[in-house]
Structure 1
Amino acid sequence: MSNGDPRTVVCFPFIGDFIGGSHLSALGLIRNLPRSLFTPLVVLHDTQGPVAELFRREGIDFEPAPVLNRLERAGARDSAAALSVARTLPALVRYLRNRKVAIVHTNDGRAHLVWGLAARLAGSKHLWHHRGDASSFGLRRIAPWLPDRLVAVSKFASPRPGLFSAAAKCSVVHSPFDVMKMVAVEREDARGNVIAAIDCSPDTKLLGYVGTLVERKRPILFVEALAALQRLEPNVEFAGLFFGNALNGLDDAARSRAEALGVGNRIYHMGFRYPSELWIAGLDALLVTAVNEPLGRTLVEAMLLGTPVIASNSGGNPEVIEEGETGMLVRPDDPDEFAKACLKLFSNSVYCRHIVETARSEARARFSIERHVHAITAVYEDLLGTGGMRGAEQVHAHPL
């Protein structure tokens, strides 16, 4: 609060050098926070990077961080990283005090530590929004003592109870999705756009991998699943599309693997596409090959858009998908299982339609922006002492 303004200032710091699902989820929250109660203060360490570009395109105002340090990726116990944090803290503490920030809401590992320490020193409350799995070093060793509250995107992502654990101060809150925006997407138009983009036959089955190409998401497995599909049913015409940027050369690795398996001519690297809804809606199936995924945004988006989902029975996926009802769950790291699931979808239109209709109804009920904002603002109220136990009860009223 500042200058007599009764609204609570909530600071959202981001590094800004990389776009992930956390940025899209945070964007939905920032845009929909009730302005009569909260003033979002978005801060970027990289004001020319992809996150800045995304926020500008979406009309989200932001400010440059008070330090030039972009908090480069480093091990949590790296001495250089510790020195960098120490040098950065004084400027961040002054910034939070000058802007009268009541809550610092962090959304990724680098921001959790640095801005969390700054919040503690500045007298601000700290909400750590955890989107990784429960085995991460930060969640196990730092979250128990640093943040005032913790929000996890799924039960799988939540800390496990123990003598030294953040479990007691953690709530599960689903990521937000613009349900009405999804309703407006025309699948036939979207499919036509995809077909035109890769110049393939209208009868081609379009299978998608949507997300950053990182090892945990198993982009190579996606290629191997397509190769298994070709081997099991040589007559089916299909195309595999990668939507997302790559880390550590995994796009080149995927290309090499595709060539080695004889499906190089069926793979298309589309890069990062925004908004993703227009592309996901054009797919015949979304393959979620990731393992230990806390709660993939694209999985829920596909359900809302009417695209059937085939996902690894791993991580938070089983918390979202009911096998055979709202999607298909297959054995992780098994390309043949993914291929067989694709063939089942292709050959049984009644089964496919049941999954699509059930998934869309379920996702609309569970993942709306309104439910997310309600749950997060209840946590804010609890942090500030304005909601008391009522706020905490509201959060827990929406379990997975």
Structure 2
Amino acid sequence: MADGGPVTVCFPFVGDLVGGSHISACGLIRKIDRRRFSPLVLVQYPGGAIARLFEDAGIDVEVAPPSAALHHGSRIGALRGLSLASGAVPLAKFLRRRGVAIVHSNDGRTHATWALAAKLARAKLLWHHRGSPDAAGLRLAAPLLANRVVAVSRFASPRARGISAARRTAVIHSPFDTSQTHDRDEARQTILSTLSLSPTARLIAFSGALIARKRPLLFVEAIAALRRRMPDSDVHGLLFGGALDGMDEQVARHAQTHNVGDAIHLMGFRSPGAFWLAGCDLLMVPAIDEPFGRTLVEAMLMGTPVVATASGGNVEAIRDGETGRLVLPENADALADGCRDILTDPQSAIRLAQTAQDEAKSRFGEACHADAIMALYDDMLCRRTRA
């Protein structure tokens, strides 16, 4: 880069399954000060879902140099690790050729593919961690390769034990478009029409990938428990999100087992997600050890009350009884009780939702997130933070 010009920050992405990390990165890149930093967004699959996400937001993308295809959730064994290490050399040459000063990696597959390449290219590495604090990469690779680590919550931060990146870690919550609004009545009518439900139906949302950690089967059990508590109400559970490893079929079978087959609706991935959350009476978050759930905050911003397990990053986003309800983990009855309390006390639900919306707007905006990240970039480059 030329002296005084913008610093090139590389955002590589591996795979083509869109998740919260991509949405958050998109929000960050939109707000980056182009006078200071020039983002270089790399994708593995031109025309794929990740490429379209960024292009639809007006962000240019380029095709990354060839690298291994890593599947979501798959473990990286010794042989694959050796293959990734050897593949880091051509990636490092690419980074040097493009004058990249910082590599900002955003998920496990990207860390595995690009972290060593950043080191070999003598670029700074910002390791953005959005997963478990016990993740192998965070424990074993980040201390050796990352210049700085960003964790999306205190829960997700590396533990200060042995060799650790804890002292190089900053907690910065994920960014959200706080200006986004949707007509709740319109969204509700869209859902009722889509599913041919009665106007009095009570709509309980689950939002996120259908994977075991997010507990979609527990959601089904909680809907069954809620219907027993509210026999005169037409309660329906709507699962928004794509399924992995046949979880959609497991959910359907579980619903039949618990006699709620007609009340559980697999909605698939729907965009924009906030619109569909706005149409629901509340969002239930049964997930365990969720680092920092995006849909939880999106629901708050839409004025949709939230009932979540007191686990992981949920406790950092919600104040129980003030901005949502926190209940015992792994407990369908506790989830059902929390939902019933909100559904049967509409005035309290309105106050809860309004307080949550106001707090989410003040805490989780894209601009304040980008300012915090850019201050880290400056720190990594030993530059004074610009006003």
Say whether 1:383 aligns with 2:366.
Answer: no
Matches within 5 A, 1:270-285: 270-285=267-282
CA-based RMSD: 1.5
2:254 paired residue number: 257
Residue range with higher mean Cα deviation, 105-114 or 55-64: 55-64
Question: How much does 1:5 deviate?
Answer: 7.4
2:226 paired residue number: 229
Question: How much does 1:69 deviate?
Answer: 2.7
Question: How much does 1:269 deviate?
Answer: 1.0
Evaluate the alpha carbon distance shift between residue 161 and residue 86 of structure 1 in structure 2; reply closer, same or farther with a 3 A threshold. closer
Dislocated runs of 4+, deviation >3 Å: 71-74
Question: How much does 1:361 deviate?
Answer: 1.0
Question: How much does 1:263 deviate?
Answer: 0.5
2:365 paired residue number: 368
Q: How far, CA to CA, are the matches of 1:104 and 1:117 in structure 2? A: 11
2:113 paired residue number: 114
Q: How far, CA to CA, are the matches of 2:265 and 2:112 in structure 1? A: 38
Alpha-carbon displacement from aligned partner over 1:236-285 (angstroms, at most 9, x marks no partner): 11111111001111110000000111101111111111111110100100
Question: How much does 1:87 deviate?
Answer: 3.3
1:398 paired residue number: none
Say whether 1:301 aligns with 2:290.
Answer: no
Say whether 1:337 aligns with 2:334.
Answer: yes
2:243 paired residue number: 246
The question of whether the paired residues in 1 share the 8 Å contact of 2:85 and 2:116 is answered with no
The question of whether the paired residues in 2 share the 8 Å contact of 1:130 and 1:151 is answered with yes
Q: How far, CA to CA, are the matches of 2:15 and 2:276 in structure 1? A: 24
The question of whether the paired residues in 2 share the 8 Å contact of 1:16 and 1:47 is answered with no
Amino acid at match of 1:376: I
Alpha-carbon displacement from aligned partner over 1:30-63 (angstroms, at most 9, x marks no partner): 1111111111000011224321232232222111
2:29 paired residue number: 30
The question of whether the paired residues in 2 share the 8 Å contact of 1:223 and 1:254 is answered with yes
Structure 1, unaligned stretches of length 5 or more? 395-400
2:151 paired residue number: 152
Equivalences, count: 386
1:266 paired residue number: 263
The question of whether the paired residues in 2 share the 8 Å contact of 1:8 and 1:39 is answered with yes
Structure 2, unaligned stretches of length 5 or more? none
Alpha-carbon displacement from aligned partner over 1:276-307 (angstroms, at most 9, x marks no partner): 11101001000011000010000001111100
1:88 paired residue number: 87
The question of whether the paired residues in 2 share the 8 Å contact of 1:16 and 1:50 is answered with no
Q: How far, CA to CA, are the matches of 2:86 and 2:364 in structure 1? A: 40
3-state secondary structure, aligned to 2:143: coil
Identity %: 47
3-state secondary structure, aligned to 1:180: coil
3-state secondary structure, aligned to 1:311: strand
2:309 paired residue number: 312
Amino acid at match of 2:141: I
1:123 paired residue number: 122
3-state secondary structure, aligned to 1:102: strand
Evaluate the alpha carbon distance shift between residue 103 and residue 220 of structure 1 in structure 2; reply closer, same or farther with a 3 A threshold. same
Evaluate the alpha carbon distance shift between residue 188 and residue 350 of structure 1 in structure 2; reply closer, same or farther with a 3 A threshold. same
**TM-score, normalising length from structure 2?**
0.97
Say whether 1:201 aligns with 2:213.
Answer: no
3-state secondary structure, aligned to 2:145: coil
Residue range with higher mean Cα deviation, 84-93 or 359-368: 84-93
Amino acid at match of 2:86: R
Q: How far, CA to CA, are the matches of 2:67 and 2:118 in structure 1? A: 18
Q: How far, CA to CA, are the matches of 1:252 and 1:49 in structure 2? A: 26
The question of whether the paired residues in 2 share the 8 Å contact of 1:281 and 1:305 is answered with yes
Question: How much does 1:331 deviate?
Answer: 0.6
Alpha-carbon displacement from aligned partner over 1:127-185 (angstroms, at most 9, x marks no partner): 0000002111111111111100000000000011123111100000011111111xx31
Say whether 1:165 aligns with 2:164.
Answer: yes
Evaluate the alpha carbon distance shift between residue 68 and residue 145 of structure 1 in structure 2; reply closer, same or farther with a 3 A threshold. closer
Say whether 1:349 aligns with 2:346.
Answer: yes
1:397 paired residue number: none
**TM-score, normalising length from structure 1?**
0.93
The question of whether the paired residues in 2 share the 8 Å contact of 1:16 and 1:52 is answered with no
